[in-house]
Structure 1
Amino acid sequence: MNNQRKWVILYFIAFLIMIAVNYLSGSNIGSIAKNKQAIIQPAGFAFAIWGLIYVLILIWLIKLWLMRSRDKEVVSRLKYLPIINFILNSVWIIVYTQQWFLISVIVIIALLYNIAQMYVILSSYRGFNRFPISIYFGWTTVATIVNIFSLAINYHVKTIFGLTELSWTIIALILATMIGVFIAISFKDWLYPLVLIWPFYGIYIENSNHYLSVDIILITTSFILFVNAVIIVWKNFIRDRL
């Protein structure tokens, strides 16, 4: 058995642990998130994307197990990163459901950094290798921001630098959009900005027109992300035709 296949076996073991932890504890995440809910909290249905992410990662792991020449190269470059990712994901579920919000923020930032590392490595590959990670990366970007807001709400923080939660929500949405545009342009990735639209839609539905300024920002930023994705698709199409 070659080293690449041994790595993939470890990927599967860590992945199954993550799924088991999610099954045992994940159902509590929604109820905890609704307690002292932040403005930027998406509606509950938005979290269904985790199911899609897990299914796509499983398909990706099966693809790596088949060990085509390019997949061997992918595994050789990733090495232990997916294992760390699945462990961090499991730890985050545990600490968040225990309402250890400060630790959960630290863990999810580490998770986001880990996904970013995997994403950069996989960005040089076309096709399905980057597809699940793009969705995972996009969703976790927004989830990290939401987690930070949950921490502030839990510690009863009303203002930071004189700005209220509403002001910081608008800033965070604009920042997330800027990140989405940067990632899309830098890595020619049309999927990442589209993924951000999903939690934005969840935030829009959850707020139910309570904050007109947030609604306007959500609609505007979603439009920007969509146009950006279309431009990237068009540029990729032209590049492939040349």
Structure 2
Amino acid sequence: MTTDLAPQHRSATSALRWVAAALSASQLVTPPVIMSVYGDFLSARATNDAVITPAGYAFSIWGLITLLCTVSFVGVARRGLNAPWETRLLVEVSVVFTGFTAWLLVAAQDWLWLSVAVFAVMVVLLIDVMRLLVRHADQVATPTWLRRLTTTSLGLYLGWSSIAVCVNVAAALIDGGWSPSEYLWQAVVLVVATLVGLGLTVFVRADLGYVAAVLWAFVAVVIGAAQNDAVPLSVAAAAASVLVLVTAVVLRVRDGRTGHHPVSTGAHPLGHRSR
């Protein structure tokens, strides 16, 4: 009976790989479908009222994120990550990809605090996913290009989402009656976003995808706040960008000196070495 467990487990993992790939691809389809029903609700409601809202061009990063995730997980479906925790990762990313569509549907109903909750769950799961990919990279047995592509894609996803969820909180507060032109409380939101960005930069060991998305978000906030004549908040966002960039560079230099490269190894999973 025990001998049947391994094949059954491999079969279940293989099925989960294709489920994750399909759900990843669904993120390319659902936004235009939902907007064809509800209109361009993301630009017409409280979501864009805060002065710390990123400049409009920045949201195009969703297209890159969803496309890269689709390519990554089609690759994973074909080749697998072959790590002892792969099933866990596949379940978590499947929830994240489903959450993306759920977040759009909830936001379309103007249930902004619920949309924040959905987004927060996605961020928590992505943090664990990146923990596995970055801190346990030596357990991944797949082609180097696929491991790096998957890590970068999900790093971008976490980077943008971890800052965007803070902007969603600002939108929910405005929808609840807070003044969209008041600087003080939005400065607090920006400080929280900065601390999140710095903390996760350290946690994911300055993963390039994560850092790139966070910098993209903060630079867009710099421009968005400037367009809204909120110069102090624009300067604060610029400072946040510099802090994240310096932290990432320091971590990269330190890891280079110690010879630690979190996603550069290609070892087989523990206990599955080639003979």
> TM-score if structure 1 supplies the norm length?
0.86
2:59 corresponds to: 47
Unaligned ranges ≥5, structure 1: none
Question: What is the identity, as a one-letter code, of the residue corresponding to 1:212?
Answer: V
Find the aligned partners of 1:143 and 1:29 in 2 and give their Cα distance: 16
2:171 corresponds to: 150
The answer to whether the 8 A contact 1:56-1:132 is kept is yes
Find the aligned partners of 2:111 and 2:186 in 1 and give their Cα distance: 22
Is 1:240 aligned to residue 259 of structure 2? yes
Is 1:37 aligned to residue 55 of structure 2? no
Q: 1:179 aligns with which of 186, 196, 205?
A: 196
2:78 corresponds to: 66
Find the aligned partners of 1:234 and 1:74 in 2 and give their Cα distance: 29
The answer to whether the 8 A contact 2:127-2:158 is kept is yes
Find the aligned partners of 1:241 and 1:30 in 2 and give their Cα distance: 41
Question: What is the identity, as a one-letter code, of the residue corresponding to 2:57?
Answer: F
Find the aligned partners of 2:43 and 2:245 in 1 and give their Cα distance: 31
Deviations 1:181-200 (A, max 9, x none): 22222331243233212121
The answer to whether the 8 A contact 1:142-1:196 is kept is yes
Is 1:8 aligned to residue 26 of structure 2? no
The answer to whether the 8 A contact 1:115-1:133 is kept is yes
1:188 corresponds to: 205
Is 1:214 aligned to residue 233 of structure 2? yes
The answer to whether the 8 A contact 2:21-2:77 is kept is no
Find the aligned partners of 2:97 and 2:47 in 1 and give their Cα distance: 26
Aligned length: 237
The alpha carbon displacement at 1:50 in A equals 0.4
The answer to whether the 8 A contact 1:36-1:154 is kept is no
Is 1:139 aligned to residue 160 of structure 2? yes
Q: 1:230 aligns with which of 231, 235, 249?
A: 249
Find the aligned partners of 2:205 and 2:154 in 1 and give their Cα distance: 14
The alpha carbon displacement at 1:95 in A equals 1.3
The alpha carbon displacement at 1:241 in A equals 8.0
User: Could you tell which deviates more after superposition, 122-131 or 138-147?
Assistant: 122-131
The answer to whether the 8 A contact 1:102-1:151 is kept is yes
User: Could you tell which deviates more after superposition, 24-33 or 137-146?
Assistant: 24-33
Of structures 1 and 2, the larger Rg is shown by 2
Find the aligned partners of 1:232 and 1:29 in 2 and give their Cα distance: 39
Give the match's secondary structure for 2:63: helix
Find the aligned partners of 2:260 and 2:42 in 1 and give their Cα distance: 45
> TM-score if structure 2 supplies the norm length?
0.77
Find the aligned partners of 2:187 and 2:230 in 1 and give their Cα distance: 10
Question: What is the identity, as a one-letter code, of the residue corresponding to 1:176?
Answer: A
The answer to whether the 8 A contact 2:25-2:70 is kept is no
Find the aligned partners of 1:137 and 1:59 in 2 and give their Cα distance: 17
The answer to whether the 8 A contact 1:53-1:132 is kept is yes
The alpha carbon displacement at 1:168 in A equals 2.1
Q: What is the identity percentage for the equivalent residue pairs of Structure 1 and Structure 2?
A: 20
- Residues 41 and 54 (structure 1), Cα distance of their counterparts in 2 relative to 1, 3 Å cut: same
Unaligned ranges ≥5, structure 2: 1-9, 138-146, 262-275
User: Could you tell which deviates more after superposition, 184-193 or 46-55?
Assistant: 184-193
Question: What is the identity, as a one-letter code, of the residue corresponding to 2:64?
Answer: L
Give the match's secondary structure for 2:79: coil
